[in-house]
């Protein structure tokens, strides 16, 4: 049983750790947040940061992600618009019309509002596309944000609610007594807490090994391109089988692409050059589009693609929060997890995402 106002130690200051610290602070926990790396190097800092239902494996995760989008509206209001979310809606299409229609139907069956658009409707939304697909899907409830900035805003709000934030303090190991986690050993010494929350991305899997636990969460690389454009030519999030793009500012564009290999013809820089040429072939006003940066982010990817969240059976004092699409899910998971931790009330919405499902 936790103390009335538990001391919770959150490991990780990406979007997931920052959201947890914010929500724990709102629910009056005493929070210390530790993070190893400067914020520039987190996965979050190199995220495409599309708030989306994604590619929805089943109805439950589509509903969960839909709830996550609503949650961003709540936090946006609480933080007086400082998150600057662009609720632009998202346009996407697949390799052919039947695939696009199948996907639209799957989302509609799950209760998620999307529209199948004709070429004329696509053109109205994205007038600078040279050729438009026969069918595209529009999800009006989706948007995007600057994930690094959102993380900073959440960390500041957590601090305003009383959280202590220590950036640049690496956790080397979990401290235990019997079968209970009692704190962490950091580069600056031991820190004790009532509960340790691991939101350290892929490193969480390494940290739990000393407990004899296997966390089925591995690094899954993805490429983020930052491009400069003197003319904003894209209005919404646009996702195709070849690339995802969106405007990050009037002059900066973000594009996400699949990672294939570290070097050779499919290295990140070769893929970036091909993506640039591809965008120039498919959009007007791209003559002066140029590549500014190519980054590879190691996404923390659970084996089945679904979040891993919750207390750990048989290990008191430990709570896990590892997930893909962490930007979309962070504030919903943050609130639900904080409620489980502070009020000790199990949240039904988190039931499908426990570690025990891998047993």
Ligand X SMILES: Cc1cc2nc3c(=O)[nH]c(=O)nc-3n(C[C@H](O)[C@H](O)[C@H](O)COP(=O)(O)OP(=O)(O)OC[C@H]3O[C@@H](n4cnc5c(N)ncnc54)[C@H](O)[C@@H]3O)c2cc1C
Give the binding site for ligand X (CB under 6 A). 11-17, 34-37, 42-44, 46-50, 170-171, 199-201, 203, 222-224, 256, 297, 299-300, 324-328
Tokens of 301: 């990817």
State in angstroms the smallest separation of the CB of 256 from ligand X: 5
State in angstroms the smallest separation of the CB of 147 from ligand X: 6
Residue number, 100 or 204, with CB nearest to ligand X: 204
Contacts of 243 (CB under 8 A, 6+ apart): 255, 256, 257, 275, 278, 279
Dist CA 115 CA 352 (whole Å): 29
Contact status, residue 51 vs residue 328, Cβ threshold 8 Å:
yes
State in angstroms the smallest separation of the CB of 237 from ligand X: 8
Residue number, 15 or 227, with CB nearest to ligand X: 15
CA angle in degrees (0–180, nearest 5) for 325-207-25 = 60
Residue number, 108 or 173, with CB nearest to ligand X: 173
Exposure string for 321-358, b = 16+ CB within 10 A, e = fewer: bbbbbbbbbbbbbbbbbbbbbbeeeebebbeebbbeee
Dist CA 341 CA 178 (whole Å): 21
Residue number, 122 or 171, with CB nearest to ligand X: 171
Residue number, 16 or 355, with CB nearest to ligand X: 16
State in angstroms the smallest separation of the CB of 258 from ligand X: 9
Dist CA 174 CA 141 (whole Å): 40
Contact status, residue 196 vs residue 32, Cβ threshold 8 Å:
no
State in angstroms the smallest separation of the CB of 115 from ligand X: 21
Residue number, 6 or 302, with CB nearest to ligand X: 302
Which secondary-structure segment (H or E) carries 295?
A: strand 290-302
State in angstroms the smallest separation of the CB of 170 from ligand X: 4
């Amino acid at each position: 049983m936790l103390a009335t106002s538990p001391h919770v130690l959150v490991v990780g200051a990406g979007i997931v750790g920052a959201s947890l610290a914010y929500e724990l602070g709102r629910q009056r926990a005493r929070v210390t947040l530790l993070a190893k790396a400067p914020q520039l190097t987190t996965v979050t800092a190199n995220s495409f940061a599309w708030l989306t239902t994604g590619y929805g494996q089943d109805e439950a995760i589509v509903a969960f992600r839909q709830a996550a989008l609503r949650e961003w509206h709540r936090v946006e209001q609480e933080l007086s618009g400082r998150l600057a979310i662009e609720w632009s809606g998202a346009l996407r299409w697949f390799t052919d019309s039947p695939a696009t229609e199948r996907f639209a139907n799957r989302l509609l069956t799950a209760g998620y509002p999307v529209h199948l658009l004709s070429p004329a409707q696509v053109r109205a939304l994205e007038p600078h596309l040279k050729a438009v697909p026969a069918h595209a899907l529009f999800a009006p409830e989706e948007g995007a944000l600057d994930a690094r900035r959102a993380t900073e805003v959440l960390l500041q709000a957590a601090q305003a609610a009383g959280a202590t934030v220590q950036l640049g303090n690496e956790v080397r190991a979990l401290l235990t007594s019997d079968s209970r986690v009692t704190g962490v050993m950091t580069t600056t010494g031991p820190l004790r807490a009532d509960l340790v929350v691991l939101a350290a991305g892929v490193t969480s899997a390494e940290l739990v090994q000393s407990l004899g636990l296997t966390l089925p969460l591995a690094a899954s690389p993805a490429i983020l391109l930052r491009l400069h454009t003197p003319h904003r030519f894209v209005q919404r999030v646009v996702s195709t089988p070849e690339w995802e793009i969106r405007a990050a500012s009037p002059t900066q564009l973000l594009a996400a692409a699949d990672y294939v290999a570290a070097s050779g013809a499919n290295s990140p820089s070769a893929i970036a050059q091909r993506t640039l040429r591809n965008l120039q072939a498919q959009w007007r006003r791209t003559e002066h589009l140029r590549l500014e940066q190519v980054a590879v982010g190691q996404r923390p990817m659970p084996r089945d693609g679904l979040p891993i969240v919750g207390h750990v059976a048989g290990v008191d004092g430990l709570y896990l929060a590892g997930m893909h699409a962490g930007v979309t899910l962070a504030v919903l998971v943050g609130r639900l997890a904080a409620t489980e931790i502070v009020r000790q009330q199990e949240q039904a919405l988190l039931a499908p995402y426990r570690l025990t499902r891998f047993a």
